[in-house]
Amino acid sequence: VKKQARQGKAGKTGKVSQEPLLLGIDLGGTKILSAVVSARGEIISRDRSATPSAGGTEAILRALLDSASSALGQAALKAADLVAIGVGAAGFSDPETGILYTSPHLPRLKDAPLRDVISRETGVETFLINDASAAALGEYLFGAGRKARHFIYVTVSTGIGGGIVINGELYTGATGGAGEIGHMSILHDGPPCSCGGRGCWETLASGTALAREAQRAIESGAPTSILAHAGGELSRVTAREVHAAALRGDALAEELISRTGYYLGVGLANLLNIFNPELVIVGGGLTRLGDRLLTPAIKTAGERAFPRAFRAARFAAAALGGDSGVLGAAAYALQRAGGQPGPG
């Protein structure tokens, strides 16, 4: 309560230029997004660049620094104007070491000392965090999670990622690896997963899973218009084509989406039982499927979770879209630097 009162006052003091300024960087497999952000979560400038994903550690570090200086340049700022820099990176990293160890979409990157290199090159204190954890913190402070003390952020696209906020604080685990909710085992002998396991949540409830099941059904000769939406090419069938077919009443497409929703609900039930959150924010590209996906997901969660855990939880859509990562990374940096991010 005290914390919120202080945030409230800080928010009323006025101009952006007098507020602490941060730089948030979101390093993904295909793009780097950098933004100069105020402590209240206003985006002052932004740069969007392609990730040199075929490049090694050097190339990626260079691209991050270039993107950062482009965002600063657009705001007519220098690095010295920043309080801190926060980097949210896809892959395995540890906030304590500041190293991005591996990243699934950056095969040539290994043990990149992101935090120390960016800090040395810019002269600004820098912090590193997992991208989905950053997005969770962004939604918590500035988006759909405002005022929730216990919440889970779930992002469903080609895979499933997430972040966990417990008692108002981002939970990063012993070595920064917490929140890999997409890899909880749902089917012990299910489809193989990119992590080396089988039947992980994301092999059953992601866009990739939906596309795979659609391709399999088409191959087995099931009557459907999905293939026509992909120009007749099986390899071009993605969640988008399944959705297009469902919108025109294709029964198989409806069934496949509903089944994906069912598996989404199984995982949500696990999260409700383990964390007893008051809020679950579901975002990511696959949520464009809307109620076709989410209604069976929430129904299944209700059937499988403890009734008390289910009743305690509210489900909400993510509110920040693609900006949650940069906003969250910036807020994380401000928190770690001793400041107090908040919407005011």
**Cβ of 147: how many Cβ atoms within 10 Å?**
10
**Which residues have CB under 8 Å from 98's CB, separation 6+?**
113, 114, 115, 116, 126, 127, 128
* CB of 90 or CB of 118, closer to Zn ion: 90
* CB of 195 or CB of 316, closer to Zn ion: 195
Structure token pair of residue 108: 């040539």
Minimum separation from the CB atom of position 185 to Zn ion (A): 8
* CB of 179 or CB of 328, closer to Zn ion: 179
Minimum separation from the CB atom of position 181 to Zn ion (A): 10
Minimum separation from the CB atom of position 200 to Zn ion (A): 3
* CB of 23 or CB of 266, closer to Zn ion: 266
Minimum separation from the CB atom of position 80 to Zn ion (A): 43
Minimum separation from the CB atom of position 214 to Zn ion (A): 21
Minimum separation from the CB atom of position 190 to Zn ion (A): 10
* CB of 52 or CB of 197, closer to Zn ion: 197
Minimum separation from the CB atom of position 284 to Zn ion (A): 16
Identity of residue 301:
A
- Positive or negative, the CA dihedral 213, 218, 222, 225 is positive
Cα distance between residue 124 and residue 88, in whole Å: 16
Taking the alpha carbons at both ends of the chain, their separation in whole angstroms is 14
**Which residues have CB under 8 Å from 267's CB, separation 6+?**
160, 181, 184, 186, 201, 205
* CB of 195 or CB of 218, closer to Zn ion: 195
* CB of 75 or CB of 195, closer to Zn ion: 195
Minimum separation from the CB atom of position 25 to Zn ion (A): 26
Minimum separation from the CB atom of position 311 to Zn ion (A): 30
Structure token pair of residue 208: 């990739």
**Which residues have CB under 8 Å from 35's CB, separation 6+?**
23, 24, 43, 44, 45, 46, 47, 71, 323, 326, 327, 330
Partners of 73 in the β-ladder: none
- Inter-axis angle of helices 239-247 and 251-275, nearest 10: 120
Residue 112 is given by DSSP the state: B
* CB of 45 or CB of 194, closer to Zn ion: 194
Q: Residue 324 — φ and ψ, nearest 5°?
A: -60, -35
Footprint of Zn ion on this chain (CB under 5 A)?
A: 183, 193, 195, 197, 200
- Positive or negative, the CA dihedral 117, 122, 124, 128 is negative
Cβ atoms of residues 327 and 138 within 8 Å: yes
* CB of 113 or CB of 197, closer to Zn ion: 197
